[in-house]
Structure 1
Amino acid sequence: MTLKKWRSYSGPYLMVFPCVVFLLLFAIYPMGWAFKYMFYDYDGFSDAQFIGLDNFVRLFTRDPQFWHSVWNTGVFTFGKLIVTLPLALLIAFILNQKIFARNTVRAVIFMPTILSAAVISLVFYLMFNSYNGIINNVLISLGMIEAPIEWLGIKYSMLTAILVAIWGALGNYMVLFLAGLQGIPNDLYEAASIDGANKTQQFFKITIPMLGPVMQMIIMLAIVNTLKSYESIMVLTAGGPAGKTEVMYLYLYKLFFPVSEGEAVVQQYGYGAAVGFVSALIVGAITGLYLYLSRKSSTL
């Protein structure tokens, strides 16, 4: 093979090669490592001891904390998405119209998406502080409450975590909906206007049906991302108080990186690998169920 032909054939492979290397190092190898050690008792220091399915027996019979975190994940996911997705769609629809300063408003709403989740959560942690946080101070000064509310306490901690998640994710889904809206031909709206349809009728009769495939993808991405998210909750409450906000992947994180002796004395890599495998199955099952139901409903 001549040098010219080698360059023409090798170019695409050389461009893909770094991606393949990173995929092997940071995706395939960790998956293989986890698959191996979920059958072992391993803390990262002592020799790994093969224990067969004992980690799974412990998970399904002796670990109610994990299943409580699964329930919390469901509550967190439902509470976040039931508000974020409709609100993002409504805002995208409004900002897709010819209104004053719409690009500036788009940028402001999208801005939280580019910020660090840890930084955002730390700011909200200070804002929702029970005794010197700005939220309680404003509510007291307006006469809406008489005593500080424990926003990060047992009663309101999950609600606070959901509100922070909505604020952080709204701009991302707004942009995705905007992309879908801009793919809808304007001729449809012009024809509907000529026929006497108002904006509300256009929204439900044209926008929603035409957004079907795009909306299916956005909802799927939102479900997967929310089921796996834990960073903001880790900064806000660390899963507390009393496990009230401990979601599935935060529980998994604590098995590999114990945050305090009260949560876990040592790393539990073997058991954590088993928990991670079951968590991935749960996320995959929920996503698959959604895709099946959405495709079935679209064919009716």
Structure 2
Amino acid sequence: MRNGRAPFIAGFLFAPVLLYVVYVLIPYVRTAYFSLTDFNGFSPEYGFVGLGNYLELLKDEVYLRAIGHNAVVLTVFPIVTILLALFFAFMLNVGGRGDKAGIRGVRGSSLYKFIFFFPQVLSIAIVAVIWRRVFQSNDGGMINAVLMSLGLVDEEKPLLFLAESDSVIPPIHLGAFTLDAPVVLICLIAVAIWGGVGFYLVLFSAAMQSIPKDIYEAATLDGATRVQTFFRVTLPLLREHVSVAWIYLGIAALDFYALVIGLTPGAGGGGPNNASEVMSSWMLTSAFRSSRYDGFAFACAMGMSIALLTMLLAGVQFRLTRSRDKLEF
């Protein structure tokens, strides 16, 4: 069996590795190559321009603003999602009353998990239709209708939500980059949090259920409150799960393409006035809706920059996690 183990393993790995090379590695290599040319996506004739497209990215005001929007999403979306998921998971698993059987979760916790997880089974198209109706900027929108019925909003001046380009914070200028948080972008982040909390709630719940109940009972006997138990017992034991969640949410924050396309105005999303533009949505617009002759190659350069930023984010997170492990060891 040992003599035939290598061919046996190679036989199982050949097909998936081949598919990975064909559909992942080769497209990445071709994208990197086209980013160094003036290829327009249609003509077989194109020239080599070197780093010209990457230098053009540093002059593209919309792209630089889109990077700022991604930075806001990368800051707010993972933090709020993880905090809410941790809070709800802790309340569902350890928030019940203690009795002779020990610490219990709240009654009906399985039902609550199903309710929180339900947005995960919806396609992004359905999510877009639902929330577009919720944020509709007239009395047909659910939020505006409720606020109008309470007399908090004038019927002639409804809240615009997805059509509002004003920033909720004063814009912060960092050289060529501008950090701002338009109302439409905050609405998109709220929808992303609504859709993401349920998955990570289930992830953290599964991790909490693997923690021995004796630890919680010992903490309770020592007089620890629920808040102290969370920060001194639960959170340290969930550190690896939180790190994994942070990486996945960070990658999702650097993408954010589907919500922008599905919910915001404009032919390629990103409206109004590029207030909700992110790197991935502007990449699509540059590739297929740009007046530039080399729009496709320019978009390839954007794609490579997004890939590099994603790998950098994952690398930094892994490095921070390893550093904490070494210090504790």
Q: TM-score, normalised by structure 2?
A: 0.82
Deviation at 1:37, TM superposition (A): 0.8
List aligned pairs for 1:6-45, cutoff 5 A.
10-45=7-42
Residue 127, structure 1, aligned to residue 134, structure 2: yes
After superposition, the Cα gap between the structure-2 partners of 1:191 and 1:6, relative to the gap in structure 1 and judged at 3 Å, is: closer
Question: Could you report, residue by residue, the CA deviation over 1:217-275 in whole angstroms, capped at 9, with x for unpaired residues?
Answer: 221221122212210111111111111110111111222333xxxx5466722111111
The CA distance in 2 between the partners of 1:213 and 1:243, in whole Å, is: 37
After superposition, the Cα gap between the structure-2 partners of 1:205 and 1:282, relative to the gap in structure 1 and judged at 3 Å, is: same
The CA distance in 2 between the partners of 1:6 and 1:264, in whole Å, is: 61
The CA distance in 2 between the partners of 1:270 and 1:65, in whole Å, is: 17
Residue 195, structure 1, aligned to residue 192, structure 2: no
The CA distance in 2 between the partners of 1:89 and 1:194, in whole Å, is: 23
Q: CA RMSD in A?
A: 2.2
Q: Match for residue 137 of structure 1?
A: 145
Q: Match for residue 173 of structure 1?
A: 200
Contact 1:255 1:267 in 2 (8 A): no
Deviation at 1:177, TM superposition (A): 1.3
Q: Match for residue 149 of structure 1?
A: 159
Question: Could you report, residue by residue, the CA deviation over 1:119-146 in whole angstroms, capped at 9, with x for unpaired residues?
Answer: 2022211221101212211111122322
After superposition, the Cα gap between the structure-2 partners of 1:199 and 1:122, relative to the gap in structure 1 and judged at 3 Å, is: same
Residue 103, structure 1, aligned to residue 115, structure 2: no
Q: Match for residue 63 of structure 1?
A: 60
The CA distance in 2 between the partners of 1:89 and 1:5, in whole Å, is: 46
Contact 1:72 1:246 in 2 (8 A): yes
Residue 222, structure 1, aligned to residue 220, structure 2: no
The CA distance in 2 between the partners of 1:41 and 1:198, in whole Å, is: 63
After superposition, the Cα gap between the structure-2 partners of 1:17 and 1:114, relative to the gap in structure 1 and judged at 3 Å, is: farther
Q: Match for residue 89 of structure 2?
A: 92
Q: Match for residue 270 of structure 2?
A: 239
Query: What SS does structure 1 have at the residue aligned with 2:161?
Result: coil
Query: Which amino acid in 1 is paired with 2:63?
Result: F
Question: Could you report, residue by residue, the CA deviation over 1:94-114 in whole angstroms, capped at 9, with x for unpaired residues?
Answer: 122322211111011001112
The counterpart of 1:248, out of the listed 267, 272, 279, is 279
Deviation at 1:118, TM superposition (A): 2.5
The CA distance in 2 between the partners of 1:214 and 1:90, in whole Å, is: 14
Query: Which amino acid in 2 is paired with 1:148?
Result: P
Identity rate of aligned residues, in percent? 30
Contact 2:135 2:142 in 1 (8 A): yes
Q: Which runs of 5+ in 2 are unaligned?
A: 95-104, 167-182
Query: Which amino acid in 2 is paired with 1:250?
Result: S
After superposition, the Cα gap between the structure-2 partners of 1:9 and 1:76, relative to the gap in structure 1 and judged at 3 Å, is: closer
Deviation at 1:48, TM superposition (A): 1.7
After superposition, the Cα gap between the structure-2 partners of 1:15 and 1:134, relative to the gap in structure 1 and judged at 3 Å, is: same
Contact 2:288 2:296 in 1 (8 A): no
Contact 2:31 2:300 in 1 (8 A): yes
Q: Match for residue 73 of structure 1?
A: 70
Deviation at 1:186, TM superposition (A): 1.4
Query: Which amino acid in 1 is paired with 2:221?
Result: I
Contact 2:116 2:198 in 1 (8 A): yes
Structure (1/2) with the larger helix percentage: 1
Query: Which amino acid in 2 is paired with 1:138?
Result: V
The CA distance in 1 between the partners of 2:3 and 2:318, in whole Å, is: 44
The CA distance in 1 between the partners of 2:255 and 2:203, in whole Å, is: 20
Deviation at 1:287, TM superposition (A): 3.1
List aligned pairs for 1:254-265, cutoff 5 A.
254-258=285-289, 264=291
The CA distance in 2 between the partners of 1:212 and 1:141, in whole Å, is: 45
The CA distance in 2 between the partners of 1:133 and 1:18, in whole Å, is: 50
Contact 1:257 1:267 in 2 (8 A): no
Higher alpha-carbon deviation: 139-148 or 241-250: 139-148
The CA distance in 1 between the partners of 2:143 and 2:13, in whole Å, is: 50
The CA distance in 1 between the partners of 2:76 and 2:225, in whole Å, is: 31
Q: Which runs of 5+ in 1 are unaligned?
A: none
The CA distance in 1 between the partners of 2:321 and 2:13, in whole Å, is: 34
